[in-house]
């Protein structure tokens, strides 16, 4: 085992020589590339000089990694329900998280690891679309266009039908869910089930695995939507109840017609 001369990380066979007995890791080599420090300069400069050139980047990267680890740990402390490492949620905290996965390690001993999480409010979810190669295969949502609940019925049925079509073996390059949010800062949260550009055969076990997890995610979001919808209904009922109360106050002569009209207008947003 040897160590990177610049950042001190352990390095295996994937290392770069910067002169006799001096090695650096791929990440430092990449950073030196970005600073246009080429083959000859690497050998000419001392380790300290090389360090000075890229240490700010290494440090800011470390800080970013630490912060990301913090976010992950914070969310895990909520004991979230996990749909594999695709979708985590904690209903009591009104939060869901999309873990960012990355392939870490070498070509043969590498594995997927969660390197960061994006965290959002469950109560802000207003809809979703499941998209396969640009085509919406299932969707659901709140609001006027979706009165009564979910278009296209239960997502499980739709996706189930697709998994059932084993005979038709397609190639798919994109499988994702777009979650629509009632939040101007993040109106759309996208979760891709696999790296865009990979080609998946629909008869492949891996694809079935992605689709199965996506079905679970969509079903969970359907539950969120039903909850959020009943909350909206609650607010509406509340408004009418309040108007009724003001009507009682008017009828018993406590408030004037003018005051009642004003309140009624306000509450019903007329």
Return residues touching Zn ion (CB under 5 A): 4, 6-7, 9, 25, 28
In the bound state with Zn ion, the residue whose beta carbon lies nearer, of 7 and 214, is 7
Least Cβ distance, residue 112 to Zn ion (angstroms): 23
Structure tokens at 17: 């020589």
Structure tokens at 94: 């009104």
In the bound state with Zn ion, the residue whose beta carbon lies nearer, of 60 and 81, is 60
Partners of 177 in beta bridges: 130, 191
Q: Are 5 and 15 in contact (CB under 8 A)?
A: no
Least Cβ distance, residue 47 to Zn ion (angstroms): 11
In the bound state with Zn ion, the residue whose beta carbon lies nearer, of 6 and 218, is 6
Spatial CB neighbours of 93, under 8 Å, sequence gap ≥ 6: 78
Least Cβ distance, residue 9 to Zn ion (angstroms): 5
Cα 25 to chain center, whole Å?
A: 30
Residues found in the chain: 270
Least Cβ distance, residue 5 to Zn ion (angstroms): 8
In the bound state with Zn ion, the residue whose beta carbon lies nearer, of 19 and 234, is 19
In the bound state with Zn ion, the residue whose beta carbon lies nearer, of 9 and 63, is 9
Alpha helix (H) ranges present in 77-144? Answer: none
Least Cβ distance, residue 97 to Zn ion (angstroms): 30
Partners of 125 in beta bridges: 181
* H or E segment and range at residue 128: strand 125-132
In this structure, the number of other CB atoms found within 10 A of the CB of residue 119 comes to 16
Cα 257 to chain center, whole Å?
A: 51
């Amino acid at each position: 085992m040897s160590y990177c001369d610049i950042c001190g990380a352990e390095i295996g066979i994937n290392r770069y020589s910067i002169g006799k007995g001096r090695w650096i890791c791929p990440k430092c080599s990449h950073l030196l590339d970005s600073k246009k420090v080429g083959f000859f300069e690497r050998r000419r400069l001392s380790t300290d000089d090389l360090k000075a050139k890229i240490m700010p980047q290494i440090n800011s990267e470390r800080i970013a990694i630490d912060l990301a680890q913090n976010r992950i740990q914070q969310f895990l402390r909520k004991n979230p329900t996990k749909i594999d490492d695709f979708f985590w949620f904690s209903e009591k905290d009104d939060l869901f998280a999309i873990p960012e996965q990355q392939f870490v390690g070498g070509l043969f001993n590498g594995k997927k690891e969660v390197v960061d999480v994006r965290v959002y409010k469950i109560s802000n979810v207003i809809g979703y679309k499941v998209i396969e190669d640009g085509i919406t295969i299932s969707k659901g949502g709140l609001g006027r266009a979706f009165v009564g609940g979910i278009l296209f019925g239960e997502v499980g049925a739709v996706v189930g039908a697709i998994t059932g079509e084993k005979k038709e073996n397609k190639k798919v390059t994109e499988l994702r869910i777009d979650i629509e949010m009632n939040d101007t800062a993040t109106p759309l949260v996208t979760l891709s089930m696999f790296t865009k550009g990979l080609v998946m055969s629909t008869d492949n076990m891996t694809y079935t695995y992605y689709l199965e997890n996506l079905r679970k995610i969509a079903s969970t979001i359907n539950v969120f939507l039903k909850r959020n919808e009943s909350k909206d209904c609650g607010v509406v009922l509340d408004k009418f109840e309040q108007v009724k109360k003001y009507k009682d106050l008017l009828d018993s002569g406590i408030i004037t017609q003018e005051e009642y009209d004003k309140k009624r207008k306000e509450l019903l947003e007329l």
